[in-house]
């Protein structure tokens, strides 16, 4: 029986058709069977490959059960699909379900086979499945660009990423081509065309690289999850990742390009740019410069990140370690020589603390060192600066005292006071109020002891000297207080600037088109260097768990299910909470986190309003169509019904009194009226299927010379006069034959209705840039340019003046069916007067047998 809980999914990922993914899946199933596991074959596609078929036979002989397929009838043809109900009823431990991206035949419970697999997993059944890289949704267009073949069957990447195990089935291009040449993949008549087209060595090499890179991305996700779960902070050099630190200064472009070159030398390396917005005041980045550097990073294939940190080196290294970076690129210091002597700087500090991360110090045109400049007082007065001021006080006051004692005979007291005042002011700039006040008191005592009579005693003989020293201490205290207050205000201002810069980056992410809610949570997690960010919503009060919470969205590993589980939680009203796991945050950081939380609530509300609007739009459109249908059909059904009934009544009531020509005329009238009713009902049914999204389209390569005659034959004798002009080298098109025929019937009928006597419409075709254009040309009155879109609205005719020619469905239906086949229908002016309807359809990609590979 199936296991308790959700089953596990194992996927064999193939780089190209024929590499052996189905064979590998069967081999794994056989191994599990040999271990005594209950394994069944739900569905396996052998594609006529003898080795795969032999593997199936061997598995059956070994005792593996095969669940019979379900037969489905569609459009007169019989198809077989996975019998999902039978597998669920059988409830094995493991089921083999091949071709995860397969599209089920209409009428099946699910549209896609991967949805069938999800049901099996939910029932506790383990599933072994397969998929080719060209069927991954994110790579579908890339594969089409490489091979020239569009793959219509796709599976969302997230389905494959969430698999418990993904194993790559790889093969060198030369070996795969040999397998093809030996007839192990396709039949003999298809081998040459395959080798010359899809299976060219370059194509196979590119597909192989795509598969390897995609799988490497999944492995990275698994590694990040493992490191987070086991709280591993060290760097594992499994893949080169280059982080470049940006300050927003003019040297940023140089650093980015240098880091991009370093990443390019290590193929497959990631480039990450990070800007640290300091919360203690060391910032000043130009938002415009940072914006330009962001665009440059993204144009080089990298990503831009912004974090808030009290300590820039620590924040840089935390980000680098969290990203599992192997190299860090920094710019050489722009500070002067004296500043570098007083403080080693960010670059030196980061290098000393980097551990296994390689640090590159890049020189640039803005490097300082040409002069002796005092360091700019840009930092808040932290304990290190206060300690430095105390050390300088202990060193400078004795030195100055010794110097002044040597010149006591030539220097008066006012100059002595001025010398000490200079040191006090300097200490206030370096260390703030407390060190400066202590320096002032010590200076007063030294002045009293060494320079105020009586010397070498702690007394003052002259009252003026006492006032001078008291004034000196007061002035020193006032200056130091002003300096300390200004530094504190400056730190607050720059903190606000850092917060504004962070919110600006957040707003920019949303404006560039990122989904607002995931972007908010990811930026919150990244900005504060947290492990995960989760938005929780309280369950309704009518649920059994009245105090329960549900997860709205979570980014990062270790998602929380209740507010108290995280390191930080921010309530948003009564029903929402933003919870972050990782480190505790200081109170100063919680203010900006509250802004993130408020914006998350707004983003959630906007998402729900958009979902509600999206759900209401089809209902409103259906109501509009239904109202128009009742208004239009009330007249247009009545006319042919009345004519048919009158004709039948006349035939029944007086058939013996009617002449043969009169009887024939009544029969013809009844027949024509019933034909009109038939076409009207068919159009209504097709249009309703289109609007409900239930119209099934089965495109295949078809020739226009096969479809056009059938369409004209449906219109009867009037259509026989329409000339058909098709080039001999016209390629086939990818279209549904039945739907294309319906389009041509509607367009040709409309052209016949408006063509003047003696000038029937014409059908022509041409081929250009992978598209085939089919033109239905008439020489009637035409349509004004400003009214052309109106004729494609359901139940509308141009001007709504002629109520005898139908409900106006023909052109609306023709456009809808054309677009369902990935084509377009556009009106153009006929050069000699009239209207030309142009149907543009994709030409079949050569060679036709390989349009949908597996």
Q: What is the H or E stretch that residue 257 is in?
A: helix 252-265
Contact present, 160 and 11 (Cβ < 8 Å): yes
Phi-psi region at 514: left, alpha or beta (left = phi > 0; alpha = psi -120 to 50): beta
The secondary structure of residue 155, as a DSSP letter, is: B
User: Vertex 342, ends 341 and 348: CA angle to 5°?
Assistant: 65
What is the model's pLDDT at position 514? Answer: 47
Per-residue pLDDT tens for 67-121? 999 888 877 778 889 999 999 999 999 999 999 999 998 888 898 999 999 999 9
Residue 587 pLDDT more than 90?
no
3-state secondary structure of 57: helix
Q: How far apart are CA 108 and CA 110, in angstroms?
A: 5
Q: What is the H or E stretch that residue 765 is in?
A: strand 762-768
Contact present, 439 and 473 (Cβ < 8 Å): no
Q: Give the predicted TM-score (pTM) of the model.
A: 0.40
Q: How far apart are CA 77 and CA 27, in angstroms?
A: 33
Q: How far apart are CA 823 and CA 842, in angstroms?
A: 7
Q: How far apart are CA 641 and CA 648, in angstroms?
A: 11
What is the model's pLDDT at position 266? Answer: 67
Query: Beta partners for 569?
Result: 579
* Token digits of residue 781: 């009155």
Contact present, 445 and 475 (Cβ < 8 Å): no
User: Vertex 651, ends 645 and 656: CA angle to 5°?
Assistant: 165
584 confidence band (pLDDT: 50, 70, 90): confident
What is the model's pLDDT at position 850? Answer: 45
683 confidence band (pLDDT: 50, 70, 90): low
Per-residue pLDDT tens for 495-546? 666 666 666 655 555 555 445 677 778 777 877 778 888 998 888 766 665 5
Specify the higher pLDDT residue, 117 or 478. Answer: 117
Range with lowest mean pLDDT among 16-25, 136-145, 172-181: 136-145
What is the model's pLDDT at position 285? Answer: 60
Per-residue pLDDT tens for 204-237? 888 888 888 778 766 666 666 665 665 655 555 5
Query: Beta partners for 771?
Result: 768, 842
Q: How far apart are CA 171 and CA 211, in angstroms?
A: 11
Per-residue pLDDT tens for 120-131? 999 999 999 999
Residue 854 pLDDT more than 50?
yes
736 confidence band (pLDDT: 50, 70, 90): confident
Per-residue pLDDT tens for 300-326? 888 888 887 767 888 888 888 877 788
Specify the higher pLDDT residue, 504 or 730. Answer: 730
Per cent of the chain over pLDDT 90 is 11
Burial annotation 413-439 (CB, 10 A radius, 16+ → b, else e)? beebbebbbebbbbbbbbbbbbbbbbb
Per-residue pLDDT tens for 169-210? 888 888 888 888 888 888 776 776 777 778 888 888 888 888
What is the model's pLDDT at position 125? Answer: 94
Burial class from Cβ neighbours inside 10 Å (0-12, 13-18, 19+) for residue 11 reads: buried
Dump the DSSP string for 82-123: --HHHHHHH--SEEEE--TTPBPPTTSSSSBHHHHHHHHHHT
What is the model's pLDDT at position 380? Answer: 47
3-state secondary structure of 141: helix
Residue 379 pLDDT more than 50?
no
* Residue in 117, 147, 145 with CA at minimum distance from that of residue 130: 117
What is the model's pLDDT at position 67? Answer: 93
Gap between the terminal Cα atoms of the chain = 32
Q: How far apart are CA 245 and CA 192, in angstroms?
A: 54
Rounded average pLDDT over 573-578: 85
Supply the mean pLDDT for the chain. 77
The verdict on whether omega for the bond into residue 244 sits within 30 degrees of 0, i.e. cis, is no
Residue 845 pLDDT more than 80?
no
């Amino acid at each position: 029986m199936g296991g308790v809980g959700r089953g596990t999914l194992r996927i064999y990922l193939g780089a190209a058709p024929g590499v052996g993914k189905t064979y590998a899946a069967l081999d794994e199933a056989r191994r599990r069977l040999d271990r005594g596991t209950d394994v069944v074959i739900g569905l396996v596609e052998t594609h006529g490959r003898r080795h795969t078929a032999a593997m199936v036979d061997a598995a059956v002989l070994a005792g593996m059960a095969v669940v019979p397929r379900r037969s489905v009838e569609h459009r007169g043809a019989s198809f077989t699909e996975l019998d999902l109900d039978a597998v669920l009823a059988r409830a094995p431990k493991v089921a083999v379900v091949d071709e995860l991206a397969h599209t089920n035949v209409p009428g099946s419970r699910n549209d896609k086979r991967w949805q069938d697999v999800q049901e099996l997993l939910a029932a506790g059944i383990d599933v072994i499945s397969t998929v080719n890289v060209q069927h991954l949704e994110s790579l579908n267009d890339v594969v089409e660009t490489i091979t020239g073949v569009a793959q219509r069957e796709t599976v969302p990447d997230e389905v494959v990423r969430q698999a418990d195990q993904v194993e790559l089935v790889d093969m060198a291009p030369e070996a795969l081509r040999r397998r093809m040449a030996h007839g192990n993949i396709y039949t003999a008549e298809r081998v040459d065309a395959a080798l010359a087209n899809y299976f060219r060595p370059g194509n196979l090499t590119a597909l192989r690289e795509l598969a390897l890179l995609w799988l490497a991305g999944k492995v990275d996700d698994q590694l990040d999850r493992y490191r987070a779960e086991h709280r591993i902070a060290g760097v594992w050099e499994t893949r080169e990742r280059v982080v470049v630190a940006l300050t927003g200064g003019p040297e940023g472009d140089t650093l980015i390009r240098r880091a991009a070159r370093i990443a390019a030398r290590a193929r497959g390396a990631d480039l990450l740019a990070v800007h640290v917005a300091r919360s203690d005041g060391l910032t000043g980045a130009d938002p415009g410069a940072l914006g330009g550097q962001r665009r440059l990073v993204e144009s080089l294939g990298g990503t831009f990140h912004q974090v808030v940190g009290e300590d820039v080196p620590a924040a840089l290294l935390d980000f680098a370690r969290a990203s599992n970076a192997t190299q860090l690129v920094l710019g050489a210091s722009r500070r002067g020589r004296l500043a570098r002597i007083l403080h080693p700087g960010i670059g030196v500090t980061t290098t000393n603390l980097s551990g296994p991360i390689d640090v590159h110090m890049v020189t640039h045109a803005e490097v300082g060192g040409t002069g002796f400049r005092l360091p700019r007082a840009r930092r808040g007065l932290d304990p290190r600066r206060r300690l430095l001021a105390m050390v300088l006080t202990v060193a400078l006051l004795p030195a100055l005292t010794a110097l002044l004692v040597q010149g006591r005979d030539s220097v008066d007291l006012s100059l002595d006071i001025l010398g000490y005042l200079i040191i006090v002011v300097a200490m206030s700039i370096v260390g703030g109020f407390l060190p400066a006040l202590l320096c002032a008191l010590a200076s007063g005592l030294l002045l009293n002891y060494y320079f105020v009579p009586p010397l070498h005693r702690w007394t003052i003989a002259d009252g003026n000297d006492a006032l001078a020293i008291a004034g000196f201490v007061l002035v020193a205290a006032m200056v130091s207080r002003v300096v300390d207050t200004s530094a504190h205000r400056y730190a607050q201002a720059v903190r606000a600037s850092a917060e504004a810069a962070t919110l600006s980056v957040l707003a920019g992410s949303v404006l560039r088109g990122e989904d607002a809610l995931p972007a908010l949570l990811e930026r919150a997690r990244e900005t504060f260097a947290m492990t995960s960010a989760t938005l929780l919503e309280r369950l309704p009060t009518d649920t059994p768990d009245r105090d329960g919470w549900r997860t709205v969205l979570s980014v990062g590993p270790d998602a929380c299910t209740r507010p108290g589980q995280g390191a930080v939680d921010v309530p948003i009203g009564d029903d929402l909470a933003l919870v972050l796991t990782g480190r505790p945050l200081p109170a100063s950081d919680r203010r900006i986190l509250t802004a993130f939380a408020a914006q998350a609530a707004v983003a959630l509300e906007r998402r729900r309003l958009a979902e509600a609007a999206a759900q209401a739009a089809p209902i409103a459109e259906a109501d509009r169509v239904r109202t128009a249908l009742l208004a239009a059909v009330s007249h247009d059904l009545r006319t042919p019904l009345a004519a048919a009934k009158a004709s039948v009544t006349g035939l029944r009531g007086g058939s013996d009194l009617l002449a043969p020509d009169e009887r024939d005329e009544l029969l013809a009238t009844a027949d024509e009226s019933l034909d009109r009713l038939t076409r009207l009902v068919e159009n209504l049914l097709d249009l309703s299927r289109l609007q409900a999204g239930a119209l099934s389209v089965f495109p295949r390569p078809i020739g226009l010379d096969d479809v056009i005659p059938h369409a004209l034959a449906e219109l009867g004798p009037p259509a026989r006069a329409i000339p058909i002009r098709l080039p001999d080298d016209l390629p086939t098109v990818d279209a549904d034959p039945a739907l294309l025929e319906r389009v041509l019937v509607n367009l040709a009928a409309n052209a016949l209705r408006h063509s003047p006597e003696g000038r029937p419409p014409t059908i022509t075709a041409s081929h250009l840039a992978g598209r085939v254009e089919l033109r239905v040309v008439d020489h009637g009155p035409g349509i004004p340019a400003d009214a052309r879109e109106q004729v494609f609205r359901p139940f509308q005719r141009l001007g709504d003046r002629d109520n005898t020619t139908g409900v106006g469905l023909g052109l609306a239906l023709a456009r809808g069916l054309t677009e369902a086949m990935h084509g377009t229908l556009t009106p153009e002016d006929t050069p000699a007067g009239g209207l030309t309807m142009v149907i543009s359809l994709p030409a079949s990609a050569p060679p036709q047998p390989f349009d949908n590979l597996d």
